[in-house]
Amino acid sequence: MLHSLPDEDTLYKALIKKDKDYEGLFIVGVKTTGIFCRPTCTARKPKQENVEFFKSTHEALMHGYRPCRICSPMEFKGEVPEWLKPLLDEVSEMPGIRLRDYEIRKRGIDPARLRRWFKQHHGITFQSYLRSLRIGKAFGRIRFGDKVIEAAFESGYSSLSGFTETYKKTVGTTPGKSQNLNIIKVTRIPTPLGPMLAGANEDGVCLLEFVDRRMLETQITRLRKLLDAEFVPGDNKYFPMLNKQLKEYFEGKRKCFAVPLILKGTSFQEKVWRELLTIPYGITRSYQEQAEHIGDIKAVRAVAKANGDNRIAIIVPCHRIIGKDGKLTGYGGGLWRKQFLLDHETSNK
């Protein structure tokens, strides 16, 4: 299990002093820059209200921070082998890079060896690390997104081209083309199972996924096309309701959700997802039973695939679908989360 951190005042004092005794004990995330550092980083120290502390680099990555280039928190002194340093430098320069196994081999590195090293030192695989960097690059400052956007739009520009460029980077299109653009606001919601990425427009919630899910980037791309929308960090009128209801769910106080949902997919997918909403809290069904409920007993595999394509975890309870033999099979957030959710609902029925 992870260690417990000292109180924040103690951690902040250690950060200011660059106390070497705290090296490896905590990681600090700087809210104003979106980076995370080791305690001994030589960069200018932020104010205490602008930092938050984490137990591991993995935790910092999952909250959308990216590694500092000055102190290189993904590298620990005496632990980074020479064969790995060039690759880490390359990733640091290009945080959006994608590297498949054959590309890693071209760099003279055994992918299996690389996976083992990252698992041992950071608790994640190398590919998970790359995904975290890409998600962090896109959404790392979600909690501060509105302030950033507001500052860009209200600070005043000396040229129209400067404003247009900022607008395009933020919204994804030029001001003249954005009148009919569907904007999906996104935010992070902390849960006992790790942070989740939520997305919503004026009609309801269209995305709720754990930030470390492999398919997250794919789901965002699909939603962008299906809803003809762009994702923008910020607030939405449904986020307070969603946050409150998720908190009540994990506290065992809520069995049904009342947040408006957008279930956009093929007619078959939508049929499966709406049927999922009818499964009572604390009850499970097999994929075959789910196929029978939608009136197509031969569609077991198609039902399983539609479950896997569900973009609104927990609320659209695909975790309540299990194998015919009672075993847990398939869950985008990981089987350990599926087991947790089923145990949680069973104990609170």
Residues 99 and 191 in one domain: no
In a domain, 14, yes or no: yes
Give the contacts of 130 (CB within 8 A, at least 6 positions apart).
Answer: 91, 97, 98, 99
Identify the pLDDT of residue 161. Answer: 54
Beta-sheet strands, E only, within the chain? 27-30, 35-37, 51-54, 66-67, 182-189, 196-201, 204-210, 229-233, 285-286, 321-322
Instruction: Show the domain range for 161.
Output: 141-177
Residues 19 and 123 in one domain: yes
State how far the Cα of 118 lies from the Cα of 49, in Å rounded to an integer: 31
Indicate if the pLDDT at residue 33 is higher than 60. yes
In a domain, 1, yes or no: no
Residues 266 and 322 in one domain: yes
Closest CA to 236 of 306, 273, 167, 188: 188
Residues 33 and 131 in one domain: yes
* Arithmetic mean of pLDDT, 30-49: 88
Considering the entire predicted model, what is its pTM?
0.61
- pLDDT digit string, tens, across residues 65-121: 888 888 888 876 446 788 888 998 888 778 678 899 999 999 999 999 998 888 877
Q: Give yes or no: 41 in active site.
A: no
Identify the pLDDT of residue 4. Answer: 63
Residues 163 and 102 in one domain: no
Lowest mean pLDDT among 123-137, 222-236, 329-343: 123-137
Residues 135 and 156 in one domain: no
Residues 82 and 72 in one domain: yes
Identify the pLDDT of residue 349. Answer: 80
Q: Mark which of 122, 153, 177 sits at the end of a domain.
A: 177
Residues 282 and 164 in one domain: no
- Reported confidence tier of residue 312, pLDDT bands at 50, 70, 90: very high
Closest CA to 139 of 102, 185, 182: 185
Residues 202 and 327 in one domain: yes
- pLDDT digit string, tens, across residues 136-190: 555 444 444 444 444 444 444 444 455 456 545 545 555 445 445 577 888 878 7
Structure tokens at 187: 């935010």
* Arithmetic mean of pLDDT, 207-223: 85
Residues 248 and 164 in one domain: no
In a domain, 112, yes or no: yes
Task: Please tell me which residue in 41, 68, 71, 318 is annotated as part of the active site.
Answer: 318
Q: What is the CATH number of the domain that holds 247?
A: 1.10.10.10
Q: What is the CATH number of the domain that holds 74?
A: 3.40.10.10
- pLDDT digit string, tens, across residues 229-241: 877 766 789 999 9
- pLDDT digit string, tens, across residues 2-31: 446 778 899 999 999 998 878 778 899 988
* Mean pLDDT score of the chain: 81
In a domain, 60, yes or no: yes
- Total domains in the fold of the chain: 3
